[in-house]
Amino acid sequence: MKFSFAAITAFAAAAMAKNFDKFTVATDGGAQLVTDGQYFYKATGPNEKRPLAILSGGDGKVTFTAEGAAPTGWQNLYVIEKAVQPLSMTVPHSGATPINANISAFSVKTVDGVDYLDADGGSFALPTGGNGTAPIYFVALPHTGPAYEVVKLYINELN
């Protein structure tokens, strides 16, 4: 049996990709990512009212299913390419995305033994000087305009 170079390369890339069945995400400083069902936020403290974002992923995609939702109520995370927009989710029971949305841009990067969420062509960030209530943004690179503080999104695998 013979395989093309492209097939071997694709197999090797798939074998090296990390997939997590379930995980949460924390930002710099350990604050957990929470969601309002559309966007993601850095938790503001112990009285946080928004639910913890429990995600799953693989093959470049990350999904979210709200606690108590039907299994068909999953949502895809997406970023808007070449733009500065909040890290967002599709509407439950819908795969519809806005123009230039990319649902398969995600990967897990490992640096010094720590896994973090990455997206092609940009960084995750918060507006500089914000009051902590702004959603997490995807900032496509290169970026000019309002100032954003890059935020690493660290993966905490759940058993």
- Residue ranges and CATH numbers for the domains of the chain are 20-157 (2.80.10.50)
For the chain, the straight-line distance linking the first and the last C-alpha, in angstroms and rounded, comes to: 38
Res 2 pLDDT > 70: no
Round to whole Å and give the CA distance between 110 and 18: 9
Least confident of 53-57, 74-78, 113-117, 122-126: 53-57
Q: Over the stretch 25-76, which tens digit does the pLDDT of each residue have?
A: 888 888 888 888 899 988 877 767 777 788 887 788 888 888 788 888 889 9
Between the alpha carbon of residue 125 and those of residues 27, 121, 143, the distances in Å are 10, 13, 12
Q: Tell me the average pLDDT across 93-118.
A: 90
Least Cα distance to 56 among 44, 71, 43 occurs for 71
Round to whole Å and give the CA distance between 32 and 43: 5
Round to whole Å and give the CA distance between 62 and 104: 8
Q: Over the stretch 87-97, which tens digit does the pLDDT of each residue have?
A: 999 998 888 99
SS3 assignment, position 15: helix
Q: Tell me the average pLDDT across 93-108.
A: 91
pTM, to two decimals: 0.79
Res 103 pLDDT > 60: yes
Yes or no: say if 153 and 29 are a contact pair by the CB < 8 Å rule: no
CA 10 vs. chain centroid, Å, equals 23
pLDDT of 156 reads: 86
